[in-house]
Amino acid sequence: MERSRLVTLLRRLDMPPARIAEVLEADGPEAAQRLGVYWADVETRVTGQRALAAYLRGQLSGRSPEMDGEFPVETVDVPEQVLITETRRTPVPELPAWIGASLNRLEEAAGACGGGAGAPFVVHHAEVTMESDGPAECCLPVADEAAARVWAGEGGRARAWRTGVRVEPARRLAYTRITRAQVAFPRILAAFEAVERWIAAQGLEQAGPPREVYFADWDAAGPDDPVCDVAFPVR
């Protein structure tokens, strides 16, 4: 009877049968730990769903983020840059971890390429969602193009991502600055939407794929600290 009651209560937590079996086969503290792991996963999922529901309510109600003043847009001119890059196709759930690891690898490689010469950024060459995997390209400006090409040639081992070097021409970017908390999906989608709407309202054209420019120390930043510019090349 005690086991039956436990199963009934675990089912009320929407726990799948396989996870219920894992809890039942454990004893005491281990069983409690397995329940805790499951519930932490549930809370993470619900937090993401709550943010997505808020974003969709705004979309369905016709409320635009720039009308709320949450994402003011400005422009900046960026000179020509030599970039070392990593490119990968990855869906949204895996994207943050890959971006963090990729930018760390590029920062480490910068020393062999004349040193870093600007803020790292991520270019989205196609949409990245739960169903679409991009690709996304992590980029770091460096000072020495010749050394960068040597680095790319030596690093051409088979990986889940592709390394490269390219020269990006001077661009004008329309951007909005967001906090660490606003970077989280799907809240960041509202920032992209705000910039796109501003570009159209100004009679400008998009001149390339959008990007996220990470100008601050991510690990040291708090939830409300500005860390990223969501930007579109324009003409």
Q: Into which CATH architecture does domain 80-169 fall?
A: 2-Layer Sandwich (3.30)
Half-sphere exposure of 39 (CA within 13 A, CB side): 11
Cα gap 119→142, rounded to integer Å? 10
Helix then strand then coil, in percent of the chain rounded to 5, is: 45, 25, 30
* Residue-level pLDDT at 226: 95
Q: Who has greater pLDDT, 138 or 48? A: 138
- Residues 170-194 have a mean pLDDT of 90
The answer to which of 28-42, 88-102, 125-139, 201-215 has the lowest mean pLDDT is 125-139
**Residue 155: what pLDDT?**
57
Specify the pLDDT at position 9: 92
What integer pLDDT is reported at residue 66 of this predicted model? 46
Residue 234's pLDDT is 97
Mean pLDDT computed over every residue of the chain: 87
In the sheet with 136-142, reading across from the earlier edge strand, the strands are: 74-78, 171-179, 226-234, 211-214, 121-124, 136-142, 81-88, 162-168
Is residue 68 classed exposed, middle or buried when 0-12, 13-18 and 19+ CB atoms within 10 A define those classes? Answer: exposed
pLDDT given at position 177: 96
- Ordered by start, the domain boundaries in the chain are 2-61, 64-78+171-235, 80-169
Per-residue tokens: 4: 């039956």
The tens digit of pLDDT for each residue in 6-26 reads: 999 999 999 999 999 999 998
What's the pLDDT score for residue 2?
Answer: 85
Higher-confidence position of 62 and 68: 62
> Predicted confidence band at 54 (pLDDT cuts at 50, 70, 90)?
confident
Stretch 105-119: mean pLDDT: 94
Q: How far is CA 82 from CA 89, 152, 165, 168, 201, in A?
A: 23, 13, 7, 6, 32
**Whole-prediction pTM value?**
0.73
Query: Quick one: pLDDT at residue 3?
Result: 87
Q: What is the fold, at CATH topology level, of the domain defined by 64-78+171-235?
A: Multidrug-efflux Transporter 1 Regulator Bmrr; Chain A (3.20.80)
pLDDT confidence bin for 68, thresholds 50/70/90? low
In the predicted structure, residue 158 carries a pLDDT above the cut 50? no
Query: Which letter does DSSP use for residue 186 in this model?
Result: T
CA proximity to 227, closest of 191, 173, 180: 180
